[in-house]
Structure 1
Amino acid sequence: MTQEEFLEKNVFAGLAKHDDNNGNFYFSEEDFSEVLKQSEHFGIAIYDIKTMFNGEEHKTINHDMFRKKATDVNWYKREFSHLKREQEGMQYTATYKVSKKLLAR
């Protein structure tokens, strides 16, 4: 199974997503919250979170900015909370890394 297949089947299933034609799927605040919950459940690493507002890229944050590991749930949950308060109505995407162990299941 590829990383994309795993994400589609186990993380993005049932969620409304918008493809930016660069291979990124953007989600509403509510759906992205579910993506983060599923990522935490499966132990998926999240390297960065990108936001879009009114169809334009808004802000990108990366785990390195906070000196945290990409698998540290606290960094992305805390920063997602900050982003939600910063601007309403944004769409969110992330860069994920699914472990080989999960892909082999």
Structure 2
Amino acid sequence: MEKLEFLQKNIFTDLKNLNTGFDAEENYYFSELDFAMILERIEYFGIGIHTIKPYLNEEFANVKTNEDYRKKATDSKWYKRAFYDFKKATPGMLYSAEYKVSSKLLNKGKEEEGEEEKNTTEESN
């Protein structure tokens, strides 16, 4: 399973991508409320964030990285703090991030897909 596919299936579910073409198609942007939900979901899965990239009024704001906070990408303290700082400084921005999804999670996603296909095949026989 590819990283974007995993994120779409497990993290971005039921959330609206607000990228209307102002950035590359594979960069999903979310409202403040949806991005807060994303942070909760990635913490649950143990996914990391390397960079948070905010956008407002057709301009990109300064990005924040895990290195700015001297934390590992998977340390939820850094990305929650960065998000809080962004929201406090400028409410209503859209948010994108560069995610770090472990190969273990991606492989687990492949295994689950294989089981679903196997079950579907068995049911139809």
Shared fold by TM > 0.5? yes
**Structure with the larger strand share:** 1
Aligned-pair RMSD on alpha carbons?
Answer: 0.9
2:101 aligned partner: 98
Per the TM alignment, residue 78 of structure 1 is displaced from its structure 2 partner at its CA by: 1.0
1:73 aligned partner: 76
Identity across matched positions, percent: 46
Aligned pairs, number: 105
Report the Cα distance in structure 2 between the residues aligned to 1:82 and 1:58, rounded to whole angstroms. Answer: 13
Matched, 1:58 2:67: no
2:10 aligned partner: 10
Report the Cα distance in structure 1 between the residues aligned to 2:23 and 2:81, rounded to whole angstroms. Answer: 28
Report the Cα distance in structure 2 between the residues aligned to 1:21 and 1:81, rounded to whole angstroms. Answer: 23
Report the Cα distance in structure 2 between the residues aligned to 1:56 and 1:66, rounded to whole angstroms. Answer: 24
Per the TM alignment, residue 21 of structure 1 is displaced from its structure 2 partner at its CA by: 4.1
Report the Cα distance in structure 1 between the residues aligned to 2:78 and 2:91, rounded to whole angstroms. Answer: 20
Report the Cα distance in structure 2 between the residues aligned to 1:5 and 1:39, rounded to whole angstroms. Answer: 14
TM-score w.r.t. length of structure 2 = 0.81
Q: Which has the larger radius of gyration?
A: 2
Q: Which has the higher contact order (CA 8 A, sep 6+)?
A: 1
Alignment of 1:29-68 (within 5 A): 29-68=32-71
Structure 1 unmatched runs, 5+: none
2:28 aligned partner: 25
Moved over 3 A (4+): none
**What secondary structure, in the 3-state scheme, does the structure 2 residue paired with 1:38 have?**
helix
Is 14-23 or 51-60 further displaced after alignment?
Answer: 14-23
**What secondary structure, in the 3-state scheme, does the structure 1 residue paired with 2:29 have?**
strand
Report the Cα distance in structure 2 between the residues aligned to 1:13 and 1:59, rounded to whole angstroms. Answer: 27
TM-aligned CA distance change 1:21 to 1:60, over 3 Å: closer
